[in-house]
Chain A
Amino acid sequence: MMKTNTNRTLFTYQKISTAAAFLLLAVLIVFPLLMIFRTAIDQNGVIDLMAPLRLLGQSDLTSVMFSTLWLGCCVIVTTTVLALPLAWMMAKTAIGRQRWLDVVFLIPFMTPPYIGSMGWMLFMQKNGYMEQILPASAKITPAFFSFGGMVMIMSLHLFPFLYLILRNTLEQIGGSTEEAASVHGASFGYRFRRIILPLLLSSYAMGALLIFVKTIAEFGTPATFGRKIGFYVMTSEIHKYISSWPIDFGKATSLASLLLTACLLMWYIQSILSSRYSYRLTGGKGSRSKKYSLRGWSGIVCWLYISILLITSIGIPYFSVITASLLRLRGTGLAVGNFTLEHYKDLLSFGSESMEALINSFTLSLIAATIAVLIGTFLALKVGQGKRWSQKGIDLFSLMPNTVPGIVIVVGLILFWNSPWMPIPLYNSYGMVVLTYIILFLPYTLQYVKANNGQIDPILLQAGAISGGHPLYVFRRILLPLLLPGMIAGWTMTFTIANRELVASLLILPPSMQTSATYIFAQFEQGAVSMGMAMAVVSVGITTILLLILQTLPAYRKQQVS
């Protein structure tokens, strides 16, 4: 009878779709990453497990490795110095009521690091804006172009990440736990030592690890600022070995294997830390945080700190980028009458190289975001509650592009799709770029839809079945509309990030094709700073507005899914 078949069909669908998910992830992510290891140990056809270690033992690679790790450590220290006071102020003082600051402090994190670095370079360079505004500063500006300057630029980009983690924890600790401690007779010092510190430490450790991973995976700043000061890290070296002569896949894959292993290791430590040392703190509506009122000096100091942070993390880079895009003649500098919108007119004129790059970026991101949302939603639904091993596996592999540095994924994809036995001629085509973007940004949709799906009570779907809805009908009328906010968030995020993507665009784009990111990069390199920066303003401007719109979405979501 037909009636009995539905359950069996559902069961078969479950099996087939799980197999499909694993196959998809294997081809898209796992095989390309394995290709990196495979290539690293392949010495002209002979498998030599020690080959990567021997290569890495060479003096130049060892020093690159250590400078990368050192950079990671220094950035952890500086982001902590920047983020901890801010987190305390926002969680514990009246300043925390200024919720707009939260959105504003996301801007540095949303700004592509290569653009931020370019802004700083324009500001601090010889005859840069700093010297034009304050000629006496010429004595100290050269000092900026150093390891310290690089740490500062990267920290100013990454600190919002740590800040959000610390603030959330502080806010949760702040409420009843601290009150309970004080009622039971603990002084401030004792409270801080016995309650706040232990509870804060676990989230700090996780945040710091993630900062470390993000730093060693970062490509934009090393490719711009790092190159200028001659400071080389693993990502920039990988880029060098696969893009400029003499091409050396052995060294590139050895470095990539190491970076991959390091990031997976960090991620593993992080997941152990979070499962073992994180406490479920009562949060949300119930927890009232004790707010210190700020009067007199303490208020001034706090606001001063926030102002300096805003100026250095947003003000200076954006000022430089926007100014550079508006200057008629670079030599004349900041002077009345030297401002023009000419560059924007050139940039946005139809048929120009720049307009083509901009349109390329938009269409590539549009296609990639749309496909990524479809695949990501499918995978997120397969992950479900993440209880069975198959669900955990899908989750783990889908999130890989977030765990592993972008450049490592890109190297893997090149090796995989460009290998002699690959029957699908995707390499060096438009489709390859789309595929790379999809893979790189798959985790966004996955995370958003997964979170969204977790909020949907399964009872809503059961009610649909009881009411006579066929599984497909329930999917279309109930599940899909309820997942829509998560899908929109995933789409917007993918579209935005893909629009600014630099590393994949540099390495994967077919010859003679440009995106806005490669255009900015090339113009900056070739000294056509104004055009490059005008492009940066247009591309970052449009996508930032999109992201800010996205910030208002969670409210919409909360109201919809009770």
Chain B
Amino acid sequence: MTALTIQGISKSFDGVQALQATDLVIASGKFTTLLGPSGCGKTTLLRMIAGLETPDQGELRIENDILYSSKQRKNVPPHRRGFGMVFQEFALWPHLTVFENVAFSLRASGQKKDIQARVMTALAQVRLQGMEQRYPHQLSGGQQQRVAFARAIVMQPRLILFDEPLSALDAILRDEMRTELMNLVQQLGVTALYVTHDQTEAMAMSDEIIVMQSGSILQRGTPEQIYRQPTHSFVARFIGHSNWIDNGHQMVRPEHIRWQSNHSPDEHIHNGMIRQVSYMGDRYEILLDMGEERLWTAYQDERMTVGEQVHIYISAQHVHTIDAVSV
């Protein structure tokens, strides 16, 4: 089932193309992530879906309703799109209590019935019972995040948009909220469109990842597909460590580098010198100088000596070949 259809949507700001003409179908009931570095157009796309930016051209549909169409000269304003959105800086209204922040969309759309019950349900879902009379500045970062989430789900929207919602939190809280957010989205069974530049978040949370760069989509697929079979050298570089056998065409992931031979006939053998050893707690990360200005990363269980010459082994099945090359 398709939730959201994007056809030929493009956008430029002051002559700079922020998003090339893009076609995309977002599946209903799934967690989809737009992943890319800053300036790749992911936020622009999200904001156009929300109605906060107007596309230059193209068409946007949810199920069978047209949200935007340059041909039909139609543009549904954000307050009529009926989406939920969680912003990067939470964007809680400082002069309203937690209760009123969450109740806002109900009151705005005139749904006066059961406001109390619906707000309380939403707050219970994010485990904020008893906090409803507080003001945002009296809450911790994680609690503010939960209020923002409750506000987005209270209307039971068909689509929830997340604009880097975890990036304003510190590292420990971010991990905690990530798990919590995943659970909530799963429980509610809503369609989620999530924007982030953090590959770990994207890999951990998504059913589907869409990798973007310089205003266009490079690859879409499950997290496994994106990691194991990148179709684009940028994707391979952006997600995880990539060790390039020849520049931009053949690469191998660090976990597939072995220190011992398994004596299979199609095994690749390479020579390298240990440049740096970093202890990560659960393993050592070894930086290898492979010559020709190639630096590889490999994992090891014990400390190794910097400067040592080593042989490394790779099975042929783990060498991934990429067709598209970019810098």
> Which A residues have a C-beta under 8 Å from some C-beta of B?
1, 3-4, 6-7, 10, 457, 459-460, 462-471, 473-474, 477-478, 481-482, 559-562
B83-91, B187-195, B205-213, B262-270 - interface stretch: B83-91
Contacts of B80 on A, CB cut-off 8 Å? 3, 6, 468
- In the bound assembly, the distance between CA atoms of A118 and B108 in angstroms comes to 57
Contacts of A465 on B, CB cut-off 8 Å? 51-52, 77-79
Q: How large is the interface on B (under 10, 10 to 19, 20 to 34, 35 or more residues)?
A: 35 or more
- In the bound assembly, the distance between CA atoms of A305 and B82 in angstroms comes to 65
Q: Are A562 and B136 in contact (CB under 8 A)?
A: yes
CB 8 Å contact bits of B124-151 with A (1 = contact, 0 = none): 0000000000001100000000000001
Contacts of A459 on B, CB cut-off 8 Å? 87, 89, 91
User: Which chain B residues (234-263) contact chain A, with CB distance < 8 Å?
Assistant: none
Query: 23 A-B contacts, Cβ less than 8 Å apart?
Result: A1-B74, A3-B77, A4-B74, A10-B77, A457-B91, A459-B89, A462-B52, A462-B91, A463-B85, A463-B87, A465-B52, A466-B79, A467-B104, A467-B151, A468-B80, A468-B108, A469-B105, A471-B79, A473-B79, A477-B96, A477-B104, A478-B93, A482-B94
Q: Cβ of B18 < 8 Å from any Cβ of A?
A: no
Q: Are A482 and B75 in contact (CB under 8 A)?
A: no
Q: Cβ of B76 < 8 Å from any Cβ of A?
A: yes
Q: How far is the CB of A406 from chain B (nearest CB, A)?
A: 36
**Is chain B's interface secondary structure helix, strand, loop, or mixed overall?**
loop
Q: Cβ of B305 < 8 Å from any Cβ of A?
A: no
Contacts of B93 on A, CB cut-off 8 Å? 460, 463-464, 478, 482
- In the bound assembly, the distance between CA atoms of A154 and B144 in angstroms comes to 52
Q: Cβ of B50 < 8 Å from any Cβ of A?
A: yes
Q: Which of B50, B51, B85, B94 has the most C-beta atoms of chain A within 10 angstroms of its own C-beta?
A: B94
Q: Are A469 and B83 in contact (CB under 8 A)?
A: no
Q: Cβ of B45 < 8 Å from any Cβ of A?
A: no
Q: How far is the CB of A202 from chain B (nearest CB, A)?
A: 31
Contacts of B94 on A, CB cut-off 8 Å? 460, 482, 560-562
Q: Are B50 and A466 in contact (CB under 8 A)?
A: yes
Q: Are B137 and A467 in contact (CB under 8 A)?
A: no
Nearest residue, chain A, Cβ from B104? A467
Q: How far is the CB of B46 from chain A (nearest CB, A)?
A: 11
Q: Cβ of B113 < 8 Å from any Cβ of A?
A: no
Contacts of A466 on B, CB cut-off 8 Å? 50-52, 78-79, 81, 83-85, 161
User: Which chain B residues (46-61) contact chain A, with CB distance < 8 Å?
Assistant: 50-52, 54
Q: Are B76 and A3 in contact (CB under 8 A)?
A: yes
CB 8 Å contact bits of B66-77 with A (1 = contact, 0 = none): 000000011111
Q: How far is the CB of B48 from chain A (nearest CB, A)?
A: 13
- In the bound assembly, the distance between CA atoms of A482 and B73 in angstroms comes to 35
A463/B91 contact (C-beta < 8 A), A6-B80, A470-B79, A562-B136 known: yes
Q: How far is the CB of A231 from chain B (nearest CB, A)?
A: 52
Q: How far is the CB of B144 from chain A (nearest CB, A)?
A: 10
| 7 further interface pairs, Cβ-Cβ under 8 Å (given A466-B85, A467-B155, A560-B95) | A462-B52, A463-B87, A463-B151, A467-B84, A469-B108, A477-B96, A477-B108
